[in-house]
Amino acid sequence: MVPVEVDTLIIGMGERYDVVITTGDGAFPVVAVPEGKDAAPAQAVLRTASGATPAPGARPGELTGRLLRYTDLAPTEAAALEVREPDRELELALQMVDGGRQWVLNGVPFGEHTPLEIRPEERVRLVMRNESMMFHPMHLHGHTFALAGQAGPGIRKDTINVLPMETLAVDFQADNPGQWLVHCHNIYHGELGMMTVVSYRA
Ligand SMILES: [Cu+2]
């Protein structure tokens, strides 16, 4: 990824970022606020010199500063997936059932799913439509994908956070034949049904 400078970022379960933080001398709060629920934030202290320890409940101004968006980022040349028209488009609707007692893809839980069929060497577009008010960090096994619909190559990832009521499309190259799980990485959603299989057919 080509580095960009922001104040804050959202990290879904299973996502990873390399972050460089520049500080002055002193003691600074590093705060993680949960998204989508009212739970207490996590707080660490980064100390580079003597000085007062930040109080519990600190809210650095950066939290409401510039938020990283996926479209702010571009892959390095080595990480870019060459732009190509997809040969196949698969749709995944991300849905809540029964007040959150079940989470499903395309109307059915894992076990009742119809595998998403692809063929070797295809370029596949996976369109994920979040029809719920929760975050779903969606993870595909066995491949990395690129954010689709960008002017140039989109960022290269294996887990992407689909925000409430948002639609995101990703492209991947079918270069690793097998049966591969695709699931929500908020793992209790996966365990309650939000998983399916990308299935290679000869
Ligand atoms: Cu989820």
Q: Do 87 and 170 share a structural domain?
A: yes
Q: Do 159 and 93 share a structural domain?
A: yes
Domain that holds residue 85: 78-200
Q: How far is the CA of 190 from the centre of ligand 1 (A)?
A: 7
pTM of the complete model: 0.92
Q: Ligand 1 is a single-atom ion; what residues have CB below 5 A from it?
A: 136, 184, 186, 189
Q: How far is the CA of 133 from the centre of ligand 1 (A)?
A: 10
The DSSP result for 30-78, as a single string, is EEEPPSSS--PPEEEEEESSSSPPPPTT---GGGGSPBP-GGG----GG
Ordered strands of the 179-184 beta sheet? 116-118, 195-200, 179-184, 136-140, 159-162
Q: Do 92 and 44 share a structural domain?
A: no
Mean pLDDT by 10 residues, the chain (202 residues): 93 95 94 90 96 93 95 95 96 96 97 97 98 97 96 94 97 98 97 98 88
pLDDT at 2: 86
73 lies in a domain? no
pLDDT at 157: 97
